[in-house]
Amino acid sequence: MCDISKRPGQTLHPAATKRFASTVIYPPSEAKVGGPAPDFSAPAVIDGDISSVSLKDYKGRWLILFWYPKDFTFVCPTEIIAFSDRVEEFNDLNCDLIAASTDTEEVHLAWIKTPRNKGGLGHMKIPIMADTKKEIAARYGVLKEDAGVALRGLYIINPDQNIEQITMNNMGIGRNVDEAKRLLQACQFVAEHGEVCPADWQPGGKSIKPSADGSIEYFSEAGKESSHEEEFGQAIKSIKSPQEFQQLVQGDKPVVVDFYAPWCGKCRQIAPFVEQLQEKHPEITFVKADTTNEQLEGLTAEQGVKVLPTFKFFKGGKEVREPISGYKKKMLEDGIKSLA
């Protein structure tokens, strides 16, 4: 007779008496982006044989560990086959792949030995790990405890065995191999170059130096490429040259200069408010300076503009108060009143 109290991962509920009432207690999740990957060592099917895999075996290489719910199902084989068929592309990037579920290694092996045209996997080029105790899945935060199976979690682990990226899908949604590869390449690019990858980044695409100057540089280029964007703040006069700027600030009227860029969302949002302030204060000259204009690059740098929008205040040829940066309507209104 099998003693249920001896099963791994289970403990009897203290109140259990005549009936086999039990409570399964799993370890808490340990997986966090930027933190160490939870250690593991478990049986796996590798090259058609039952063997084992351990996290430590992959130290010094990138690793993608992806979980799936169950063998002999529907979405799962499409994912595993897709990753296995393209494993060489990942290997060329110094990256290995491991698939994992809470099925046993024997079930994995049976699934692999089943032809694809009969719902099996066929030959696999990647290990398929068996987390039968479900403890590894729990520590990776991927275990759906009420069902006892793993969600579709994918973890990119760097050569120092820290987690760089986590994605998690519900059971009915398969993953995209191209996107997993792109994310891997983005992680590798950041690690190698120290620059960061913007939205929709692709290998060979533009990156950003992680500084205020780097952001200005990136978005200035983006602004030049997006010069077709609809103009905003049309009621505000645009200055076209440093000479025009000097003539204005040296004049008799106080001047408010709005340093902006066509791509800047906050610049666009605050523009109608600036136009309202111009109507309220005809005694003040309002102008705007497009920081993506090549003729104004020197002026932008000279004025120390690093954040957009930035408003600067001049009177009698001198800057008379601290600049205001960002979407700060009350501060901007108060600053303009101080010039009046």
- pLDDT (tens digit, 9 = 90+) per residue, 275-308? 999 999 999 999 999 999 999 999 999 999 999 9
* Token pair listed for 320: 């008379």
Q: What is the pLDDT of residue 225?
A: 52
Across the chain, mean pLDDT equals: 91
Distance CA 82, CA 176 (A): 9
Q: What is the mean pLDDT of residues 61-70?
A: 98
Q: What is the mean pLDDT of residues 257-276?
A: 93
Q: How far is CA 86 from CA 55, 71, 80, 91, in A?
A: 21, 20, 10, 9
Instruction: Tell me if 80 sits within 8 A of 121, measured CB to CB.
Output: yes
For residue 24, name the pLDDT band (cuts at 50, 70, 90).
confident
Domains of the chain: 27-193 (3.40.30.10), 237-339 (3.40.30.10)
- The pair phi, psi for residue 80, each rounded to 5°, is -60, -45
Distance CA 245, CA 289 (A): 9
- pLDDT (tens digit, 9 = 90+) per residue, 187-216? 999 999 999 999 999 999 899 999 988 888
Sign of the torsion angle spanned by Cα atoms 301, 305, 310, 315: negative
Q: What is the pLDDT of residue 7?
A: 40
* Distant-in-sequence, close-in-space partners of 232: CB < 8 Å, separation ≥ 6: 262, 267, 268, 271
The type of residue at 210 is: P
Give one word for 183, left, alpha or beta, with left for phi > 0 and alpha for psi -120 to 50.
Answer: alpha
Q: What is the pLDDT of residue 15?
A: 38
Distance CA 286, CA 249 (A): 11
- Among 2-11, 118-127, 263-272, which is the least confidently predicted range? 2-11
Q: Is the pLDDT of residue 50 over 70?
A: yes
Q: What is the pLDDT of residue 22?
A: 62
| pTM > 0.85 | no
Q: What is the pLDDT of residue 219?
A: 81
Percentage of the chain modeled with pLDDT above 90: 82
Please give the sequence-ordered ranges of beta strands (E in DSSP) within 73-194, or none if there are none. 95-101, 128-130, 143-144, 149-150, 152-157, 163-169
Q: Is the pLDDT of residue 251 over 50?
A: yes
Expressed in angstroms, the distance from the first to the final Cα of the chain is 93
Instruction: Tell me if 307 sits within 8 A of 212, measured CB to CB.
Output: yes
239-254 burial, b if ≥16 CB within 10 A, otherwise e? Answer: beebebbeebbeeeeb
* Distant-in-sequence, close-in-space partners of 19: CB < 8 Å, separation ≥ 6: none
Type and span of the H or E element at 225: helix 212-225
Q: What is the pLDDT of residue 340?
A: 80
Instruction: Tell me if 46 sits within 8 A of 108, measured CB to CB.
Output: no
Q: What is the DSSP letter of 116?
A: G
**How far is Cα of residue 308 from the mean position of the Cα atoms in its chain?**
23
Residue 322: burial class (beta carbons within 10 Å; 0-12, 13-18, 19+): exposed
For residue 222, name the pLDDT band (cuts at 50, 70, 90).
low
**What is the three-class DSSP state of 52?**
strand
* Token pair listed for 304: 């120390």
Q: What is the mean pLDDT of residues 235-251?
A: 95
* Token pair listed for 184: 């891997």
For residue 9, name the pLDDT band (cuts at 50, 70, 90).
very low
Q: What is the pLDDT of residue 263?
A: 87
Radius of gyration of the chain (CA): 30
Just list the catalytic residues. Answer: 76
